Amino acid sequence: MPEEKDIEELRKELEDYYGTAMVSGMPMAVIDLSRVSEMSDEEIEEEARKLHLD
């Protein structure tokens, strides 16, 4: 069974994901990037799962 990532690791990955999208020509990703710092642990897990980062 693969080891689950902790919430802070997932949060960092989401910040990297949206930050990369923003500087790669998708300026609207700044909205998602700003939301990451305010997400609850459950929201972080859900967002990471949605983006296949889990």
Q: Is 29's pLDDT higher than 60?
A: yes
Q: Exposure string (b/e) for 17-38, b if CB count within 10 Å is 16 or more? A: bbeebbeeeeeebeebbeebee
pLDDT for the residue 28: 94
Apex 33 CA angle, 17 and 5, nearest 5: 50
Q: Where are the domains of the chain?
A: 7-50
pLDDT for the residue 19: 96
pLDDT by residue (tens digit) across 36-52?
A: 999 999 999 999 999 99
pLDDT for the residue 54: 75
Question: Mean pLDDT throughout 1-27?
Answer: 88
The pTM (predicted TM-score) of the whole model is 0.84
Question: Mean pLDDT throughout 3-30?
Answer: 92
What is the number of other CB atoms lying within 10 angstroms of the CB of residue 48? 20
